[in-house]
Amino acid sequence: MAQSAEAASISRFSRTSHRHIKQGFFSRTLPFWLLLPTLLVLIAIQFIPGVFSFFLSTQSFERGQQTFVGLRNFERVFTSSAFGESLWHTLFFLIGYVTLTLIAGFVIAQILNRKLRLSAFYITVIFIPWVLSDVVVGLIFRLFVVPDYGLFSALFANPNIFPPKGISILTTPPSTPILPDVPFPPAPALIYLIFASAWKALPFITLLILAALQTVPREVIESAAIDGADGWRTVRFITFPLILPTLVVALFNLTLSGVNGVGMVFSLTGGGPGTATEVLSYLLYTIGFGRLDFGRAAALSVFMAIINLTLILLALRISRSEREA
Amino acid sequence: MNATLAASSHHVHRAQRRLAPWFFNGAMLIICFLVLIPVLGTVITSLKDQTEVQRNPPVLFPCDTPDGQFSLSACRWSVEGYTRILEPRPSAGTLFGFEYVGRMISVYLPNTLIYAVSGSVLVTMLAGMSGYVFSRYRFRGRRALMLAILAITGIPLLTNLIALYRMGVGLRQTFPGYEERLFVIVVYVGFFLPFSIWVVKSFFDTIPRELEEASFIDGCTPVSSLIRIVAPLAAPGLTSAFLLSFVGIWNEFIAGYLLVGKATLRTAMFGLYDFIGQFVIGYQVLAAGCIMVALPVVLMFLFFRKIFFRAMVEGALKG
């Protein structure tokens, strides 16, 4: 409201201004020219490839022949056992990754919010993993568990800690599934992948939650303490509801990065052992560039784009209703 | 009875208050140490030699004497990992008397630097221009356009990669003078632009309009007001867009891996991934590679950390 009034005052001003009447075509259409390069790049790199992916998903590339096959690529992807399996892997990964990161981030942010003298130092140190790339993080974590020689390998191979025979993160296959067709419990490699990913995502989530905690007024917490609320109740009934919007942002952020992240799978496990860490994004890569089946890869990428857009629209709707409330 | 209880609880509270900072500082120090373990472990591994990284069971510090005692004088630190990546060759005409022929230092890192610098300069310029428009002008379709750009933010590069790969192949066949480098840079710009637009716009929103109006009265045209008044004030926002895109492009792996065909144009992240197959048991080389590739952005972060923190919180919450 205030903004539009201001805008109106500017335009009234410009209509009466002598200088502005003499303004050329370029100045009058300035916003368009400023936006044009951005629009061109986004159309070329985001919009056209998106539409093109959709087109490719209806094509078959068998025997060097490109033919229209309708929705058959989707059908073949969705009914393949690799897809079902990687969907489960992605789900287990997401649950572990999101929960672990949110809880750890919340605890660390709570401590940092006590305005310790060294808070700035702590947050800087904690932030280093965020600057590292997925490939570097995957490789670092891989070096710790390479069979026999990794610094943690002896720990994992210890049968007293990991009965019955000890494990080797990169090679131990998943144990026999409890339910048929559901790869649960997941392989040690998938759990290790969760830890590596959470390690990298933790700083950002901690920072987000910390920023939200700092907006919670001190008086509210203090008056709760005077009313006799202990630490846990204060967190549960005061802090938690107040920072819930930020937690939702963090949740969506983690889910999106978890669904789409692929670099760490490349350098940490390469999808293995077997297919135990093949998540959706990695499956997309193996279909598209391992087997050069662009039609089916495009179908899978359309599926992933739909997941992403749904999540984003959901996040937008939630944040808007929060803002209006 | 009651009084003593109250007194003792009061006492406990005071003691708690005095102890609390120590407790929480201690907890944070432990957390910091835990977080840094992977980094420290990698630094230590990168400074071992081939026989040390292949010991079974592994030893953290290569400092044990033959009879199993720890002794600083027995340490066998080595920079073998780094020299095997750098591959220095004596050469007369160069600065240090050596030229470094390792592909990481002579090909991959320079390529990544070119992509990251040119990509993030372009991102910053475009984000500055469109962020200004979204912050200052009201026009039909503005909201829809902003929502579309926000929606794009979440679509991963991976989704478009199949199509971009086919487009790259097509461009190469159609245009003889096709420049692969240019294509990759434009892809990076398209990928990192949407988020930067949001960061920059939120910075422009904090600059009061009155400043611009005053400059109009003083005889500025919109263009000169943008360059002289607004751009300097928006410098922190533009810097953060630059830094975030720089780190993003530097660390990007999958697009560089799939879209770059020529060996001489490959990126550092590709080089690192390639090392996994090349140095199957040269763990010290892999660790040294990680550190060399990560060090520039880590230093950059430590230097500009305040800008990073602010931009990330703004970008995530406003978006």
Distance from the first to the final alpha carbon of chain B: 58
Does CATH number 2.40.70.10 belong to domain B103-318? no
Confidence of residue B15 (pLDDT cuts 50, 70, 90): low
Does the beta carbon of A106 lie under 8 angstroms from any beta carbon of chain B?
no
What residues of B are in contact with residue A10 (Cβ under 8 Å)? 209, 213
Confidence of residue B34 (pLDDT cuts 50, 70, 90): very high
Does the beta carbon of B1 lie under 8 angstroms from any beta carbon of chain A?
no
Contacts of A236 (CB under 8 A, 6+ apart): none
Q: Which two tokens stand for residue B68?
A: 């199993």
If you measure CA to CA, which chain B residue comes closest to A49? Answer: B163
Does the beta carbon of A246 lie under 8 angstroms from any beta carbon of chain B?
yes
Residue A127 · residue B35 · CB < 8 Å: no
Confidence of residue A1 (pLDDT cuts 50, 70, 90): very low
The reported pLDDT for the residue numbered B139 is: 85
Q: Which two tokens stand for residue B50?
A: 């081939």
| Residue A237, min C-alpha distance to chain B (Å) | 23
Does the beta carbon of A272 lie under 8 angstroms from any beta carbon of chain B?
no
Cα-Cα-Cα-Cα dihedral sign, residues B210, B213, B217, B223: positive
CB contact under 8 A, A126 and B150: no
CB-nearest to B186 from A41, A123, A297 is A41
Q: Residue B39 CB: number of other CB atoms within 10 A?
A: 18
Does the N-terminal peptide bond of residue A185 adopt cis geometry, omega within 30 degrees of 0? Answer: yes
CB-nearest to B193 from A42, A56, A288 is A42
The reported pLDDT for the residue numbered B151 is: 78
The reported pLDDT for the residue numbered A23 is: 60
What part of B 109-168 touches A (C-beta under 8 Å)?
126-127, 129-130, 132-133, 137-139, 147, 149-156, 158-167
- List alpha helices for A237-293, DSSP H: 240-260, 263-268, 280-285
DSSP characters for A181-215?
TS--SPPHHHHHHHHHHHHHHHHHHHHHHHHHHTT
Alpha-carbon gap, residue B155 to A47, rounded angstroms: 11
* Bridge partners, A68 (sequence order): A59
Confidence of residue A289 (pLDDT cuts 50, 70, 90): confident
Distance from the first to the final alpha carbon of chain A: 18
Weakest-pLDDT range from A10-24, A282-296, B138-152, B207-221: A10-24
Please give the distance of CA B91 from its chain centroid, rounded to a whole number: 33
Alpha-carbon gap, residue B101 to B88, rounded angstroms: 6
Q: Which two tokens stand for residue B109?
A: 């890192």
Give CA separation, B134 vs B144, B145, B157, in Å: 11, 9, 24
Does the beta carbon of B294 lie under 8 angstroms from any beta carbon of chain A?
yes
- Closest C-alpha among B197, B254, B209, B267 to residue B233: B209
Residue B236 · residue B244 · CB < 8 Å: no
| Residue B304, min C-alpha distance to chain A (Å) | 11
What part of A 35-54 touches B (C-beta under 8 Å)?
35, 37-38, 41-42, 44-46, 48-50, 52-53
Complex ipTM:
0.88
What part of B 230-289 touches A (C-beta under 8 Å)?
247, 250-254, 258, 269, 272-273, 276, 281, 283, 286-287, 289
* Bridge partners, B99 (sequence order): B89
* Bridge partners, B100 (sequence order): B88
Give CA separation, A155 vs A144, A151, A244, B68, in Å: 11, 8, 38, 20
What topology does CATH give the domain A77-324? MetI-like fold (1.10.3720)
Q: Which part of chain B has CATH 1.10.3720.10? A: 103-318
CB-nearest to B152 from A46, A139, A141 is A46
Q: Which two tokens stand for residue B265?
A: 């144009």
If you measure CA to CA, which chain A residue comes closest to B39? Answer: A140
What residues of B are in contact with residue A312 (Cβ under 8 Å)? 150-151, 153-154
| Residue B77, min C-alpha distance to chain A (Å) | 17
Strands A67-68, B88-90: pairing is unpaired
Alpha-carbon gap, residue B116 to B188, rounded angstroms: 9
CB contact under 8 A, B41 and A49: no
**Helices A188-213 + A81-112 axis angle, to 10:** 40
What part of B 180-239 touches A (C-beta under 8 Å)?
186-187, 189-191, 193-194, 197, 209, 213, 216, 219, 221-223
Indicate if the pLDDT at residue B176 is higher than 90: no
The region, left, alpha or beta by phi > 0 then psi within -120 to 50, assigned to residue B64 is: beta
The reported pLDDT for the residue numbered B13 is: 56
Amino acid at A294: F
Weakest-pLDDT range from A114-118, B69-73, B294-298: B69-73
The reported pLDDT for the residue numbered B114 is: 96
For residue range A242-277, list pLDDT tens digits in order.
888 889 889 988 998 898 888 899 999 988 898 889
Amino acid at B260: V
| Residue B93, min C-alpha distance to chain A (Å) | 34
Give CA separation, A4 vs A8, A61, A308, B136, B197, in Å: 6, 54, 33, 10, 21
Q: Which two tokens stand for residue B303?
A: 């230097």
Q: Which two tokens stand for residue B164?
A: 């971009």
The reported pLDDT for the residue numbered B16 is: 56
For residue range A192-239, list pLDDT tens digits in order.
999 999 999 999 999 999 999 988 888 888 888 788 877 788 888 888
